[in-house]
Amino acid sequence: MNFNDIVPYLDPADKEESLKEFFGREDIKSFLSEKWKEYTDTEVTLPKDTDEQPLSVQPEEIQTVTNPETPVDMPFIPSIPDDEETRARYQSLFSETRHEMFSRKLKGTHIQFQNGKVNQPYQMLLDVMDLGMPEVGRLEFIGLNEIGLNFNPETCLVEGIPTTSGDFKIKLQCYLQDWKEGDPVFEKPVTLIINPDPRALWNSIPTPEDIPYYKPDSDCKYVKIGRTKGFLGMGAENRKDMVAASQRGRSHAHEGKPRDDDFSIIHNDNTEWYTAIVADGAGSAEYSRKGSEIACRTVSEVCDTHLTKYSKEIDELIKDFDRDNSDSKRKKLGDALYNILGSAVFKAYKNIEQEAVGNDAQLKDYSTTLLVALSKKYKFGWFVATFWVGDGGIGIYNKETGYLKIMGEPDGGDFAGQTRFLTMGEVMQPTEIYKRLRFEIVEDFTALVLMTDGVTDPKFETDSNLQKPEKWDALWKDITSKVELTDDNEASAQQLLKWLDFWSPGNHDDRTIAIIY
């Protein structure tokens, strides 16, 4: 067969049908396979620039080249022409695989932002080398600016101060080395979590004023005790003042629930007795806010009445005890205090019981702790008597001498299991009341402090820490840095109330503190 036989089928074009028919012919098939065999068996020839060759050329016109390095019985692999067009074509093929490879790699690379917090500086290193992607020339992030962050390509740092909280989808864009217009940009969504400021999550809902036993969400008081008169202006001296504040806890404010704590501070100008009381109504008891209020008011009133009535007798017993520290003198003074403070406490218990009966409620619905301190200055020093039931703390603290006396034991602490309340019958047994009475004569003190557990929990954490002078030093430093506890400074009541708002994660109970200083 002659090649010329084929030519009419090919030229002119537009003969698709007949072409198919032609190549389907048995003789053509066998001819072609014969020719192919011939071709592969003889010296390898390569048509040059086939694209440009007219198909009508004669076989003898085709120039042949010999590839000396290729053995004749091996299939021939044509070498890639080294012209610009071919190079360009192969280059694009090559970069396509490079792109595919990178795309796969990016998909498989775990990229995670560390979590941030609103209003707190954020910084995270995002280095392509660390990520194992050295082929990346440039990184960009879409969505960072909106939340107050940006990426610094020089330092590879994502930094800034996040302005909003939430789970954000940030789009990471990778530009490969030698990137030019038209090249693909590789993207990967990465989640960035910005936590809200915990402080912003706490609502402050005012307590509805129409609830039974409503009481204001905060309270504070200052009792100013002027200078002693002295003799013709001589020898006049400053006297200690009293300040107290009570603040509803965040956990109550969050739900519009009332403050359960209460306090009472009074100074009797005639007897010169100081009385300071704090009480913490149990969170689980429905009317505990009333229980703490009744306790504070009753004890304060009853003590004042008794101390006025028996002022001289008590003075004598205390002076006696100062002179003679014997057990018998101690017992005498203790008995007298039991009759004053103990009976005041018992009266508080009875008053709460009466309130509960009147309100058709149970005594335990009014559960409250109670911490009382009575104090008076004598020539030989300060006399302090206390009664303490429940958690919280009473301490006599002297910054100068490092003296610290904790006036009892917090029951319901770490190991006792259950908190004791004034409203428990077993606490009102005479021996139990007696056990909870303490008294002491000290030369002087920087402060006599009474606190509910809303203050002791964050500031001391454990019962054991409550006994540590360094913890008290820290507390005192903290208070006096915010509250000007100078003589007769009535503004300190508001300052103390403001101080009570200190932030301590996980501690959002009502807080009450009373200080004689």
Partner 1 sequence: MRKLPVYLVLDTSGSMHGEPIEAVKNGVQVLVSTLRQDPYALETAHLSIITFDERAKQVSPLTELSMFQLPSLTANGTTCLGAALSLLAERIEAEVHKSTAEKKGDWRPLVFIMTDGAPTDNWERGLEDFRKTKCAMVVACAAGQSAQTKVLKKITDTVVSLDTADSMTIKAFFKWVSASVSFGSQKVESTHQEIAGMSELPPPPPEVNIVL
Name the site residues for partner 1 (rule: CB under 8 A): 112, 114-115, 117, 165, 167, 191, 193, 195-196, 198, 201-202, 250-251, 254, 283-284, 414, 461-465, 505-509
Question: How far, CA to CA in Å, does 112 sit from each of 125, 126, 192, 193?
Answer: 11, 9, 8, 10
Distance CA 329, CA 311 (A): 17
- What six digits make up the tokens of 494? 């508001």
Per DSSP bridges, beta strands 370-378 and 274-280 are antiparallel
Tell me whether residue 462 or residue 489 sits nearer to partner 1 (CB atom). Answer: 462
Distance CA 465, CA 445 (A): 20
Tell me whether residue 182 or residue 506 sits nearer to partner 1 (CB atom). Answer: 506
Least distance to partner 1 from the beta carbon of 213, Å? 19
Burial class (CB in 10 A: 0-12, 13-18, 19+), 481: exposed
**142 neighbors 169 (Cβ within 8 angstroms):** no
- What six digits make up the tokens of 404? 């610290």
Question: How far, CA to CA in Å, does 389 sit from each of 47, 427, 435?
Answer: 109, 8, 10
**449 neighbors 455 (Cβ within 8 angstroms):** no
Least distance to partner 1 from the beta carbon of 268, Å? 37
Least distance to partner 1 from the beta carbon of 115, Å? 5
Tell me whether residue 99 or residue 117 sits nearer to partner 1 (CB atom). Answer: 117
Tell me whether residue 249 or residue 395 sits nearer to partner 1 (CB atom). Answer: 249
Least distance to partner 1 from the beta carbon of 245, Å? 21
- What six digits make up the tokens of 335? 């008995």
Tell me whether residue 203 or residue 429 sits nearer to partner 1 (CB atom). Answer: 203
Cis peptide before 59 (omega within 30 of 0): no
DSSP state of 70: S
Tell me whether residue 148 or residue 412 sits nearer to partner 1 (CB atom). Answer: 412
Tell me whether residue 342 or residue 390 sits nearer to partner 1 (CB atom). Answer: 390
Handedness of CA 307, 451, 499, 484 (dihedral sign): positive
Least distance to partner 1 from the beta carbon of 456, Å? 12
